[in-house]
Structure 1
Amino acid sequence: MLIVSSIVLAYFTYIFIEKKFKKITYQSSVILFVSNVALLLLGITSYELNLKPRNSQSGIESIVNATNEGVSKRDLMPIKFESQVFYTKMAGNEKVVMYGDSHMEQYIPRVVKLLDDHQQGSKTAVFVTKPGCPPMPDVYSQVALDFGECVKFREESLNYILSDDIQSVVVTACWNCYFIEGLDYKDLYYLNADNKVYFNEVGGADLGLKSLENFLLHLSAHKKVYLLLDNPAGESFNPKNYWSGSRINEIQVKFPTTKIKLDDKQNQLRYKLLEIAHRTNVIAIDPIAELCKNDECLFLLENNVPIYKDNNHLRPSYIKTAIDYLDVAIISDSIPAK
């Protein structure tokens, strides 16, 4: 039956389609010839004038590559604790918990590389993270995550961190997002009993910082604790802002010609966090000390390669190969990082 159908279809295709195209008149032949010549001349002209497509600039590829980079957990092993799923990279017997939000997850590529290079004498790392759930007791986001989900995550995460299986913990978050007006600041609130005190209200952000300080003080009584401060952030770092134009007109790429000045509010928050680390007897890790010199911050490598993927996350590939300030919490002091 299929063979007969194929023969019938081929016959009607020949009658109604192929025969019509074979009957080309003299007038049609002339039109076809002229069209081909016109296309040939257009091609030669484009070559001679070196006409470029509207999006041929090499900077566009650099920007697209940066913004499209993502963090993968494929090199980590999922583990179940109570109702939560955490992710681990196995190495030595000592375990360090990497606790925080998406700003902790951005360091996964670096931790994986370190433990691949230094299996012996390094700590097993366990990522205990929940994007949109600030690692501060009684602090919540109005829009980022379900309230009950965040509460349960924090409770069970703390149970895991304080277990005998864990020796140390690194705590980080998008501190700039939470405590500086203009990022996620307006969506954060401190929950005092049933009363919400938003961070953009008088004293709200101070309550959040005090909550973080009390949390670190509680952890440091039981574990070795590292407080990882924030990397510089803001729209000036966002690669998407380095181009302009649309699909209709020409796309222009213009990278800033100077380094980006460290935001004063971010620097003030940095010193507040350093003071909290000192008061709670935890070890502070300061990315700004490496990423900024004389209050001017790195945002491009040679050949205009961005080191950020958006306005507050560093690129995974850059973190993997160039960021070493977190190494102290992961590998033994006697083992040099690559």
Structure 2
Amino acid sequence: MSIAVTTDAIAPAKEKPAAPHLDYRPDVDGLRAIAVLPVVIFHAFPALIPGGFVGVDIFFVISGYLITGILLRALNKQQFSLLGFYGRRIKRIFPALITMMITVFLFGWLVLLPDEFEQLGKHIAAGAAFVLNLSLFIDTNLYFGAIEAPLVHLWSLGVEEQFYLVWPLLLWATWRLGRWQVALLGAITVVSFYLNVSAVHEEPLQSFYLPTARLWELSLGGLLAFATQNKAAHGGHESLPSWIPHKGLFGDNARANLGAVLLIGSFAFLHNKMEFPGWWALAPVIGSVLLISAGPGSFISRRVLSQRWMVFVGLISYPLYLWHWPLLSLAHTIDWRDYTPALRVGVVALSFVLAWLTYRYIERPLRGSPKTLKVASGLFATMAVCAVGGWLTYKTQIPARPIPADVAKILAAENEDFPYPKEPGFLNVGTGAKKVLFIGDSTLAQYHWRVDKVLKEHPGNSRGAIFAWRPGCAPHDEITRVAHAKCRQLLVDAIAMAKTAPIESVVIGFSWYSYLTGNRDSDHVGEVRPLLPVADPALENVRRMVEGFAASGKKVYIMQNAPLNPGFAPRQMVQRTIFAPGFRVNSEPASKQHLLTAYEPFLVRLRQIAKDNNATLIDPLGGLCPEGVCPSITKNDEPIYRDAFHLRKFYILESVSYIDPVVLDTGHDSMPGGR
């Protein structure tokens, strides 16, 4: 039922003048192009535009500005209809979204493994209900790099639709407040920004996904609409109020130029390892506000944003955003080995084609239909069917494509528990009076199984072990992504423990390659990459640790990286095809020489640290890569790795003998590898 607002229902004591009609602004469509193109490029080629993801924040500002303008004009004319508003929103949003989701569902059945297909069903259900942002907040701690989830990008639609549900009612309910309405909305914007900034460090998912922490981006666009909606038009567009300066440093061109600088700077200098949104989001958000406020008369609006090709991209920006990520995701899923730059260029080109076809033959006809409520009702019913179908898929009522037995055997490996201890901190192994202290992350802690086995097999051995570890803990705060304060405290406590008499030896081990090259992407581990700038202070921290331990008379070992290769992860061994049987195993090994080349930039530094302090390097490659190759499966076709970074428990128990001499009484002079 329509909520029709009558004159008596909304008229304040002093009636507000009707706002002038907001003429179509091609520069706003051009700004949409500025928003969507960096997102597409970032998803296909992250290194080209490190901050391309802020295009979503630009979209939020545009949406807030345009939707608020529509609502204010309706309220001013006393023609506000909630049902009519939502009907138009449904015609705008649902057609392309339904088309994309149905296509992805059908193609996903062909190429996705059963658990991936279930996840797709869950994301379709959540996406159709516009709550995927809430689902991701609850279920996952990743967005960037979630290439295996073809609908993860619909989180932003969830934020926008939740805004559309609340904002019209808020404007209507506060309409009688007059000028105090703007003050109230401004206060809400400030509170939302505070929630965003306060959560971005300790609760980054809350800051990224929740509508309460994102509202300020949309509401700033809305406040801009308030600033323009009651001022007489000049120069072909609604102007800012007279109390806002319009000349010199505050003129249209100056604002547009500053806005462009902020956007370009955001694309170039922000990156996905920053705490975002937070304070950093002010740059793209304020930049967008400034560009819109400058109006279509500024030089940038006329000469750049209003270019025909920019306007065209802006018009198809919504279906382009919808199509590009699922295509990239599915192309990668089919076979990550063939996910080449040329393929990604082709996928992006296909995204443009599908976006135009969707816009031209699906979106425009339905959006332009005068039968708003009838069309909206049909689209709403279809979206409901999508939601139910997704939920049934998630609950396995709609079965996935069957997988062959050999593929099922490979995939079973990743359903095992991770090999590191269940709780981070300090873990005692063995009863020997002399202790070996292991300090590092989960890639070192995984060896506790082998140490425990060896010590039990040698009950007369005089040594025991203590593992001081935390997942993702690196030797420098700038590297540690989550809970770096806890990591720092762990290292402080471990160093203090090492000074005590029972600690005879210390083993230091981290995922050196991942931390020092910045490559934590399981699809590309083992590639030859240069060290990050943070590698210098990180390795200096390691040097100080080793020097301190050696000076106090401790025997020091440095554990090098185990072999890393994207093809070691069980799921990555599965190649997909639309033809029968659909899935096959590709267990290609890694080249030992290639890994040595990839590791050399930090190995040479670790060797020098070891040499300077009479420490010993432990070389896993020497034991895990016989005959120059590092296998991914055993002779019995069992995967060696639980994921791209961790070995499986059975393999640790049976095969990582290079750790044994560290904890056995006879081991000091018989280490594998070398100094």
One-letter amino acid matched to 2:467: F
Please say if residues 91 and 120 of structure 1, whose CA atoms lie closer than 8 Å, have aligned partners that are also in contact: no
The counterpart of 2:621, out of the listed 288, 293, 297, is 288
Q: Percent identity of the aligned residues?
A: 24
Task: Tell me the residue number matched to 2:437.
Answer: 97
Task: Tell me the residue number matched to 2:427.
Answer: 87
Task: Tell me the residue number matched to 1:276.
Answer: 609
Residue 269 of structure 1 and its aligned partner are, at CA, apart by 2.8
Q: Give me the whole-angstrom Cα distance separating, in 2, the residues matched to 1:131 and 1:287.
A: 20
One-letter amino acid matched to 2:458: H
Task: Tell me the residue number matched to 1:218.
Answer: 548
For the aligned residue pairs, the C-alpha RMSD in angstroms reads 3.1
Please say if residues 505 and 555 of structure 2, whose CA atoms lie closer than 8 Å, have aligned partners that are also in contact: yes
Q: Give me the whole-angstrom Cα distance separating, in 1, the residues matched to 2:570 and 2:441.
A: 22
* Structure 2 gap segments, 5+ residues each: 1-400, 523-529, 671-675
One-letter amino acid matched to 1:61: K
Give the match's secondary structure for 2:449.
helix
Task: Tell me the residue number matched to 1:148.
Answer: 485
Please say if residues 91 and 124 of structure 1, whose CA atoms lie closer than 8 Å, have aligned partners that are also in contact: yes
Task: Tell me the residue number matched to 1:182.
Answer: 519
Residues 251-270 of structure 1 aligned to structure 2 (within 5 Å): 251-257=582-588, 259-261=590-592, 262-263=594-595, 264-270=597-603
Residue 248 of structure 1 and its aligned partner are, at CA, apart by 12
Task: Describe the superposition over 1:72-105 as per-residue Cα deviations: whole angstroms up to 9, x where unpaired.
Answer: 648xxx9xxxxx9521123221111111110111
Q: Decide whether aligned partners of structure 1 residues 180 and 319 sit closer, same or farther in structure 2, where only a CA change above 3 A counts.
A: same
Q: Give me the whole-angstrom Cα distance separating, in 2, the residues matched to 1:334 and 1:256.
A: 34
Residue 292 of structure 1 and its aligned partner are, at CA, apart by 2.2
Residue 150 of structure 1 and its aligned partner are, at CA, apart by 2.2
Q: Decide whether aligned partners of structure 1 residues 94 and 200 sit closer, same or farther in structure 2, where only a CA change above 3 A counts.
A: closer
Task: Describe the superposition over 1:84-133 as per-residue Cα deviations: whole angstroms up to 9, x where unpaired.
Answer: 95211232211111111101111011011111111212411111111122
Residue 175 of structure 1 and its aligned partner are, at CA, apart by 0.8
Equivalent pairs, count: 259
Which structure has greater strand proportion?
A: 1
Q: Give me the whole-angstrom Cα distance separating, in 2, the residues matched to 1:162 and 1:249.
A: 62
Please say if residues 66 and 306 of structure 1, whose CA atoms lie closer than 8 Å, have aligned partners that are also in contact: no
Q: Give me the whole-angstrom Cα distance separating, in 1, the residues matched to 2:572 and 2:440.
A: 28
Q: Give me the whole-angstrom Cα distance separating, in 1, the residues matched to 2:576 and 2:478.
A: 38
The counterpart of 1:307, out of the listed 608, 624, 640, is 640
Please say if residues 92 and 124 of structure 1, whose CA atoms lie closer than 8 Å, have aligned partners that are also in contact: yes
Task: Describe the superposition over 1:155-195 as per-residue Cα deviations: whole angstroms up to 9, x where unpaired.
Answer: 2221111112311111111111111242279xxxxxxxxxx
Please say if residues 54 and 249 of structure 1, whose CA atoms lie closer than 8 Å, have aligned partners that are also in contact: no
Residue 246 of structure 1 and its aligned partner are, at CA, apart by 9.5
Task: Describe the superposition over 1:126-161 as per-residue Cα deviations: whole angstroms up to 9, x where unpaired.
Answer: 111111221x3x444352x22322222222221111
Question: Which stretch has the larger CA shift, 175-184 or 283-292?
Answer: 175-184
Q: Give me the whole-angstrom Cα distance separating, in 1, the residues matched to 2:556 and 2:487.
A: 22
One-letter amino acid matched to 1:233: L
Q: Give me the whole-angstrom Cα distance separating, in 1, the residues matched to 2:470 and 2:420.
A: 15
Task: Tell me the residue number matched to 1:130.
Answer: 470
One-letter amino acid matched to 2:448: I
Which structure has greater helix proportion?
A: 2
Task: Describe the superposition over 1:238-269 as per-residue Cα deviations: whole angstroms up to 9, x where unpaired.
Answer: 22111144999854122235554533222443
Q: Give me the whole-angstrom Cα distance separating, in 2, the residues matched to 1:228 and 1:256.
A: 26
Please say if residues 67 and 239 of structure 1, whose CA atoms lie closer than 8 Å, have aligned partners that are also in contact: no
Question: Which stretch has the larger CA shift, 89-98 or 262-271?
Answer: 262-271
**Taking structure 2 as the reference length, what is the TM-score of the superposition?**
0.35
* Structure 1 gap segments, 5+ residues each: 1-52, 79-83, 186-198
Task: Describe the superposition over 1:11-36 as per-residue Cα deviations: whole angstroms up to 9, x where unpaired.
Answer: xxxxxxxxxxxxxxxxxxxxxxxxxx
Please say if residues 406 and 585 of structure 2, whose CA atoms lie closer than 8 Å, have aligned partners that are also in contact: no
One-letter amino acid matched to 1:115: L
Residues 245-256 of structure 1 aligned to structure 2 (within 5 Å): 245=576, 250-256=581-587
Please say if residues 435 and 466 of structure 2, whose CA atoms lie closer than 8 Å, have aligned partners that are also in contact: yes
**Taking structure 1 as the reference length, what is the TM-score of the superposition?**
0.68
Residue 332 of structure 1 and its aligned partner are, at CA, apart by 1.5
Question: Which stretch has the larger CA shift, 286-295 or 228-237?
Answer: 286-295
Question: Which stretch has the larger CA shift, 261-270 or 101-110?
Answer: 261-270
